[in-house]
Structure 1
Amino acid sequence: MITHFTYRNLVTRVVPSNEHYDWAKEVKEFDDTKSGVKGLVDAGVAKIPKFFVHPPKSLPAPSKTTLELPTIDFEGVESDGARRKEVVEEVRTAAGKWGFFRKVNHGVPLHIMEAMLEAIKRFHEQPVEDKMHLYSANSRQRVRFNSNVPQREYDSACWRDILTCVFHDDQLDLDAIPLACRKEVQEYVKCMIKLREIMAELLSEALGFSSDHLSRIECMKSEALACLYYPICPEPDKTLGTPKHSNTTFLTLLMQDTIGGLQILHDNQWVDVPPVRGALIANIGDLMQVISNDKFISVEHRVLAQPVGPRILVASFFTPSLRAGAKPFAPIKEILSDENPAIYREFLFKEYYEYYKTKGQDVTSALPHFRINE
């Protein structure tokens, strides 16, 4: 038996099945093309490279659940009346029991959402020569394009490409954003910042605080925009678009196109989260679970590889301001009591993020590592 794979430059290797597999060499050959997974698809691969193959135990069985994600209507939420109290209660319940919920009438215009999806598709589908200068795995590069090549040997890659734009303290030089999507990213981020402020107020009130509590501690003052492109996959039963994980953030806002593939783990069952036109998905992150002392939960989720595509997803990850990120985080003291002691120890945001680098795919959540041992 032999395995074929072809790169963007049309170089083909034939690897006998009994030959020693050189993981590092295959990854380097792929990475050196700077064309991402789309480059493989454009080259007409019929079989995915071996380093994209995931262990059978991590691959999904068909979802059998028909559970429906909570949907919260944000109409009238900016008033201080009865509707606001209803939404706060709905947010408290969804954040505490699901960790995910769908938002409708959230104030982000549909034309801005659809323009953003089209712009991200346009960026990823432009000629390789026009985007390869951004190809980098350096997390310090605030605007970068890459393809999630694993850093630890024999970890599995995922079938996706990513354009990332990082706004520290809501700021980023707009000239650094690719021209193919610059205008749309600028407009979309403005909407995300406005919606983040509303979410910060609602989550603060849902925890029993004044509406400005989370804003004052600046725990969501920065954002990383991950613009994901999931090409059609020739062997979707062997890989994943994104593996099982929870987010190392305070809050994530997701926008999906019409294809779907997102699943969350709820009550030990994988639940499909089908796209709804004009809706956004709110996802509670690990750090929100920490500071709420488990009043809100961060749940594991994944994205399936698909035999159709491409699929576009835009994730807005909200993280601390540069100033707040230099201070330790822990459960909010006002939440704690003799009956409700702290579940987590103090730690720096960087410490939490770095933990994943040492563990790779051996861990899907760092929360247990930071729990206080009783």
Structure 2
Amino acid sequence: MIATPEPDHDRKTELMAIDQSKSGIKGLVDAGLAKLPRVFVHDHLNLNIKSGPAPDNVNIPVIDFAGVNTDSTRRAMIIDEIRNACMKWGFFQVVNHGIPVITLEEMINGIRRFHEQEPEAKEKLYSRDESKKVTFNTKIDMSQTMAAYWRDTLTCVMAPNPPATQELPGTCRDIMLDYTNNVMNLGTTLFELISEALGLNPKHLKDIGCTEGLYVMGHYSPACPEPELTMGTGVHTDSGFLTVLLQDQIGGLQVLHDNRWIDVTPIPGALIINLGDLLQVSP
């Protein structure tokens, strides 16, 4: 569906009003929003690329990490699976990765608690200052004409220089620290395996600094009055990052494979690893 532009639409004023409220999209919804603000309308959602479940003959890679650090034969098999997934897909799911399921579930619940608390509790963190280590805001761009995305995001820069503990929101502070420690350990293992898949020393990617940084981003997309007109995120790649994705069981994530958008079906306890452009080499 393509929306008809409104001639009297003042994009900047509308964006500033949303931004200055400091309550995010959740605040708009809680206030009784019945019609989608024009800045969130995406005019070109009719993509010429097919979308849907994976065909029967296409298997989205799921890699079992059981034995990765205790069984050399199994580790070699995992490295082969990672190599194939990197070459053919650019992402894969991992199970038996060592992070307790209860930690993953509580992380999702903690992010939900943050976004669903009273607006006054979130206002002090609302900022677009990228020098801050903990911020909350809505995905809008004041300088361009691109449509805003229907999501609020809590962003925490957790490594290499984490924020003071008291800077983290109380609603998810403890689980954020626990989850971060677990993901940093998993990240080290992933970079070792990818290094070996490339035929390099296991410590190669770690030695050049790939394991040093960690951003934790907790996205939240509340119920939308006109969901057919907007998107929570757009078509993108994650340049230069290895991304560990934790999604709830509702799903909604798609990946582009062989010119087709394929649904990524959530697997309880699994994590999605997105290589982005990390391993892309120019000829």
Relative to 1, partners in 2 of residues 1:81 and 1:21: Cα closer, same or farther, differing over 3 Å?
same
Query: What corresponds to 1:351 in structure 2?
Result: none
Query: What corresponds to 1:258 in structure 2?
Result: 249
Q: Are the aligned partners of 2:61 and 2:93 in contact in 1 as well (CA < 8 Å)?
A: yes
Instruction: Give the number of aligned pairs.
Output: 277
Match of 1:289 among 251, 271, 279: 279
Q: Are the aligned partners of 1:170 and 1:223 in contact in 2 as well (CA < 8 Å)?
A: no
Matches within 5 A, 1:295-334: none
Paired with 1:234 and 1:34, the residues of 2 have a C-alpha distance of: 20
Relative to 1, partners in 2 of residues 1:37 and 1:59: Cα closer, same or farther, differing over 3 Å?
farther
Per-residue Cα deviation, 1:28-67 (whole angstroms, up to 9, x for no partner): 1111111111111112222210000112246698723424
SS of alignment partner, residue 74 of structure 2: helix
Runs of 5+ consecutive residues of structure 2 not aligned to the other structure:
none
Match of 2:26 among 18, 33, 38: 38
Paired with 2:231 and 2:166, the residues of 1 have a C-alpha distance of: 33
Match of 2:92 among 101, 114, 118: 101
Matches within 5 A, 1:1-374: 19-57=7-45, 63-66=51-54, 67-169=58-160, 171-286=162-277, 288-290=278-280, 293=281, 343=283
Bigger relative CO (Cα 8 Å, ≥ 6 apart): 2
Q: How far is 1:153 from its partner? A: 3.2
Per-residue Cα deviation, 1:176-221 (whole angstroms, up to 9, x for no partner): 1111110010000000000001001100000001111111111231
RMSD: 1.9
Per-residue Cα deviation, 1:135-157 (whole angstroms, up to 9, x for no partner): 01111111000001113232110
Name the structure with the higher strand share: 1
Q: Are the aligned partners of 2:133 and 2:162 in contact in 1 as well (CA < 8 Å)?
A: no
Q: Are the aligned partners of 2:36 and 2:226 in contact in 1 as well (CA < 8 Å)?
A: yes
Runs of 5+ consecutive residues of structure 1 not aligned to the other structure:
1-16, 294-341, 344-374
Structure 1 consecutive aligned stretches of length 4 or more whose deviation exceeds 4 Å: 57-62
Q: How far is 1:104 from its partner? A: 0.4
Report the AA paired with residue 30 of structure 2: D
TM-score w.r.t. structure 1 length?
0.71
Give me the identity figure in percent.
43
Report the AA paired with residue 279 of structure 2: Q
Relative to 1, partners in 2 of residues 1:18 and 1:235: Cα closer, same or farther, differing over 3 Å?
closer
Paired with 1:128 and 1:207, the residues of 2 have a C-alpha distance of: 48
Paired with 1:240 and 1:18, the residues of 2 have a C-alpha distance of: 19
Relative to 1, partners in 2 of residues 1:154 and 1:250: Cα closer, same or farther, differing over 3 Å?
closer
Relative to 1, partners in 2 of residues 1:170 and 1:266: Cα closer, same or farther, differing over 3 Å?
farther
Paired with 1:209 and 1:88, the residues of 2 have a C-alpha distance of: 12
Relative to 1, partners in 2 of residues 1:29 and 1:62: Cα closer, same or farther, differing over 3 Å?
farther
